[in-house]
Structure 1
């Protein structure tokens, strides 16, 4: 089990001015931010990142949304990072997310759900490596 996970604050939450609030919830949740950057990805980059979902009905909408504005990408560290972060962000559908989770507070829909969180240690490594070189990870 890894002690690192990957997250993105999505364009909807960035546009709404929630970067600081979300980062505060992350650090209050006991996570250490070991790498972070603010960037605007292209549609092609979003398609590459989400290629695991290619062919699914929401793929085009997802990649368009993720390239619609700036994001914040980060690698987080904490014991049991993936599972603990998934609990902190809440269910994909904010209507089903538990009170006190990031998505309950800041997501507006299933599609615009404020944050991405890796779903496994393997994907955390793959996703983190997509956005950060080895030199950027402490």
Structure 2
């Protein structure tokens, strides 16, 4: 999760928000957005500098905005026929070793899941719901 340093308690997930009607390929959209923003700069003259490789495993959650007001809902409200915005959270598997180029106005924050659970005042409802959304997955740790 990333914290915007211009605001004290502003935690967010990063990505682009699309209208629900758009048709796009998940891996390409994530790659096209992620690489220019968070891949380390490529060394000039070295074409063999590796790009980040990741695997998009599954969709974790869908959040909807019926209009452009701040609240998001994990469902489309009954009175809404065409939601204005959809936010998708993806489970992305990173390689064993990776470099992140974090922008200067952001700070990379590692928070344990038990701290996120039921803490929407501190992290917001979208991030605070991650433990419940991730509970449907079975994570296995394979030591090296």
Higher relative contact order (CA closer than 8 Å, sequence separation 6+)? 1
Q: Which structure has greater helix proportion?
A: 1
